[in-house]
Chain A
Amino acid sequence: MRRVRIGVVGRMIGVLVVLGIAVFPIYWMFTTALSSDADLFAAQPRLVPDFGQFGVFVDALADGPTLTWLRNSTIVAVGTTALSIVLGIPLAYALSRFSFRGKVAVGLLLLMTQMLPEALMVVPLFSLYRRFELLDSLVGLVLANTAFVLPIVALVLKGAIDGVPRELEEAARVDGSRPLTVLLRINVPIIAPAIAAAAVIAFFHAWNEYVFAVTFIFNKALQPASVGLAGFVGEQGTAIQTIMAVAFMFTLPAVAFYLFAQKYVVSGMTAGAVKG
């Protein structure tokens, strides 16, 4: 009995240490944002946030380009989400419900996209974009991001469609519905939670994306927040508190939504790797 209790206590201590390591950098981001200059550069730094400094968040939003950045990020993320869901649902349905020639090739193609670094594809896409005037355009970012997130979205949705009983479809098909109608009327409402999760994945993939954005966008008014934030690195003019405040506002929605979608993200990604 005593051994069991010591086991639980030991485990609790281990868990607390792990959670400390996991959460501390985000906490430190918040604390740094809410520190006065004196605290920040003192020999003994302040370890808890000074809520008297909360104005830094307001100022970061009011002055400077933060709101424009967040707006651009939102546009790119919403566009990527919409396009990848619209393309992903039929792809997932084909992979889940049909056996056809070339299915293995499609699977391999999806696996291949997981291996291609964005930094490699950025060069050929750059020349493609120059020809079609997609440089300096948020539409260009949406198109590039969708190509990279579409396979994951499709695999998450395929997993969900696999779980929909075929009998439900059979009944509708006897009534004479076409396959597309069956997909939209029967499957889509049932897999709505998975669609929401896939949307979260696509949204934050685009929200976080940096390589395409930094290479394809020259106009400062069109920069998304990832590029704007990265521009702070090595730059002297901006106070570290402001940088951390913007970084925190950029991080918070991603963390909040991922906690909700986590289960689907994990199963979708591992399924993708297993089955190719």
Chain B
Amino acid sequence: MSAEQAGAGVALRRRRRSPLGSRWTPYIFLLPAAAYIFLFQAIPLVQEIYLSFTRTNLLNPTRSVWVGLENYEKIFASAGFQQTLLTTLGYVIACVVGAVGSGLGVALLLNGRFPGRGIARALVTVPWAAPGIATALIATWMLNAQYGIITRVLRAIGVDVGESGILDNPDLALVAILATTIWQLFPFVAVVLLSALQSVPAELTEAAEMDGANRWWSFRVVTWQVIKPTVGLVALLMTIWSLRRFELIWLMTRGGPLGTTRTLVIDLYSQAFDSKQLGNAAAIGMVGIVIALIVVVGSSLVSRAAERGA
């Protein structure tokens, strides 16, 4: 009885200080997760930054030699790395444009009235839900040089994909990887943009069309203005995800043929675990992180400027 009263008294006193307990309360809630992320993300990241300034072998990682900027000078001087940068750039841009474009198209398609709309909206998300490994396996099989269904169809309509098949063709491998990536991503874009489209007030588009505006005009004047921030956000997510995509490319081509599908992440992994050069790998990783940071900071500046302009 008295203990309970004492407890209530403490709580009351605490309430007086702050409505939500003592001022340390939020930090106590924060501590476990923050410590965890610090241990498993922040420390390894710092270690990786350090590694990028050293010569370190995977087989003997405790004996690393400080070499300053040598790794960075070396990678930027190599023609192979310049190709990697260009491939990464092309891959990311094509992924973003392809996924956002097709996703927006599908969202507009699904936003109308038609029978079976609920089922269609659920089924369209299947590619995004399928595990990346399974996607890589089925894509590789469908693109098989002899028996793949896509290869068969292309040959049947007279497209020359070469003897060794699409994934071994330096002109086509990246296109195949891109198509697979976009297949995987477009449902996410479509679902996110569909929910944005549903917040477009119907009266506005109707009013625009009643004023004699055609569909395209009312899309540009009304719909696009409402969904623009969401499109920007999705494009940012696609950029970040595409910069770090690994398993799909690794399993389908390992960066080949002739390095035509070697993105930064593929390069970094094979430097670390095939060539065992941890310093080089870390430097490549840092380049990737800097690119991602530039994209994130740049896009937040652009969206802030757009907000101020509006």
Contacts and interface: CB of A to CB of B under 8 A. Distances in A.
A118 B244 CA distance: 8
A262 B121 CA distance: 11
A91 B28 CA distance: 9
B11 A45 contact: no
Given A117-B246, A262-B191, A106 B281 contact: no
B194 to A, nearest CB: 9
B20 interface: yes
Contact of B29 (A90, A151, A267): A90
Contacts of B67: none
A178 B21 contact: yes
A217 interface: no
Given A15-B120, A87-B36, A255 B129 contact: yes
A243 interface: yes
Interface stretch (B68-76, B204-212, B217-225, B232-240): B232-240
Interface of B is mostly: helix
Given A258-B129, A273-B236, A125 B32 contact: no
Among B11, B48, B138, B240, chain A packs the most CB atoms within 10 A around the CB of: B138
B282 interface: yes
Contacts of A91: 29-30, 32-34
Contacts of A98: 20, 25-26, 29
A11 interface: yes
Contacts of A66: none
A123 B51 contact: yes
B107 to A, nearest CB: 10
Interface residues of B, number: 94
Given A23-B126, A211-B247, A254-B130, A18 B106 contact: yes
Nearest to B109: A14
A240 B240 contact: no
Contacts of B243: 115, 117
A243 B20 contact: no
B202 interface: no
B131 A254 contact: yes
A266 B133 contact: no
Contacts of B139: 25
A19 B183 CA distance: 11
Contact of A90 (B7, B33, B134, B140): B33
A124 B138 contact: no
B120 A251 contact: no
Given A90-B30, A233-B251, A270 B131 contact: no
A208 interface: yes
B47 interface: yes
B110 interface: yes
B282 to A, nearest CB: 7
A196 interface: no
Given A14-B109, A178-B21, A94 B26 contact: yes
Contacts of A29: 134, 137-138, 141
Contacts of B233: 270, 273-274
B131 A208 contact: yes
Interface string B226-257: 00001001101100100110110001000000
A41 B211 CA distance: 60
Contact of A116 (B26, B244, B269): B244
Among B34, B115, B282, chain A packs the most CB atoms within 10 A around the CB of: B34
- Category for how many chain A residues contact B: 35 or more
Interface stretch (B89-97, B158-166, B169-177, B284-292): B284-292
B237 A273 contact: yes
A22 B192 contact: no
Interface string A178-208: 1100010000000000000000000010011
Among A19, A45, A93, A144, chain B packs the most CB atoms within 10 A around the CB of: A19
Given A114-B240, A119-B265, A254-B129, A233 B37 contact: no
Contact of A18 (B27, B109, B152): B109
A65 to B, nearest CB: 15
A231 to B, nearest CB: 10
Nearest to A20: B123
Given A208-B132, A255-B129, A262-B191, A119 B244 contact: yes
A269 B187 CA distance: 14
A117 B265 contact: yes
B293 interface: yes
A128 B33 contact: no
Interface in A110-169: 110-125, 127-128, 143-144, 146-147, 150-151, 154
B85 interface: no
B14 to A, nearest CB: 9
A1 interface: no
Contact of B272 (A116, A123, A173): A123
A54 to B, nearest CB: 19
Contacts of B120: 15, 19
Contact of A255 (B11, B126, B137, B278): B126
Nearest to B303: A274
8 contacts: A25-B127, A25-B130, A28-B149, A119-B265, A120-B268, A146-B36, A173-B20, A244-B141
4 nearest A-B residue pairs (beta carbon): A258-B129, A117-B244, A124-B44, A98-B26
Given A117-B285, A243-B137, 5 more contacts: A112-B41, A119-B268, A154-B33, A170-B19, A230-B251
